[in-house]
Structures are given as structure tokens and as C-alpha cells.
Amino acid sequence: MDDLIDAAARVRENAHAPYSGFRVGAAIRTAGGQVFTGCNVENVAYPEGSCAEAGAIAAMVAAGARDIAAVAVIADSPEPVPPCGGCRQKLAEFAGADVPVTLATTRGARRETSVGALLPGAFGAGHMDRE
């Protein structure tokens, strides 16, 4: 996971966070070993920004990949920062519950978790089945 944390830390430097100053980087590894990154992009109209995790997922999908095998998120915060609720659902769309997630701070603190632990009872494709 160190390589994913490093990739997330590098892309975090590109975050566009002029309003909050809170820069976040995310990196995901696919089942095929590809690494995709994303950073948060704020907008003066706050709800119109995008999260780092969403950016990494969009880059993955744009490249034709669909299966997340590992996730890393890093921010300059006192404690590791988990993905927001919307990004937890986005991660669950492309990752199984057991996919590892490493949350890190720029000061070196880490927390290991999983997609399932972040979003227990996730809404999934099976919920769309009709009788």
C-alpha cells in the first residue's frame, strides 16, 4: 500500500482547494494492477466541487477499468480522513466489501479499513432485482 499512499500524496499537491485549503489525494489500484489517482477540486459554488476518490474512479472508468483492488486516501489532518458518504457508495460500486482501504495523514498516521467497514449494508446492484 505504500506505493498507493505515495501516489495519493503526489496527486494531493495538485488539488484545487483555494476556499478550504484542505487538499485531499486518492489512489486506487485495479485488479489488473493499474493505478489511478484523483484530487479534490473545489468550486466557489461549494456543492459543485468533486472529491479525490470520485476523480480517481472517473479516471479508472475513463481508461476502461472497472474493478478496484485497493484504495488509499491522504490528507493534511490530525487523524486519517475517510471518504465522504457519496464516495463510499462510489467505491462500493467498483469494489467488493473486503477491498482494503488505507487512510493516511501527511504526518504519517495510518488507519487500515475496508470498503465494507466504511459502508456496511451498501446499496448494490442486487437491490435493483425485480421479482
Which residues are identified as catalytic? 53
46 annotated to a ligand binding site: yes
Helix, strand, coil: what percent of the chain each, to 5?
Answer: 35, 25, 40
Helix orientation angle between 2-12 and 52-62, rounded to the nearest 10 degrees: 110
User: Where are the extended beta strands (E) located within 1-131?
Assistant: 24-30, 35-39, 68-75, 100-105, 110-114
87 annotated to a ligand binding site: yes
101 annotated to a ligand binding site: no
45 annotated to a ligand binding site: yes
SS3 71: strand
51 annotated to a ligand binding site: yes
Instruction: Enter the C-alpha cell of residue 112.
Output: 487500515
39 annotated to a ligand binding site: no
The binding site for Zn(2+) comprises 51, 84, 87
The binding site comprises 40-46, 51, 84, 87
The binding site for substrate comprises 40-46
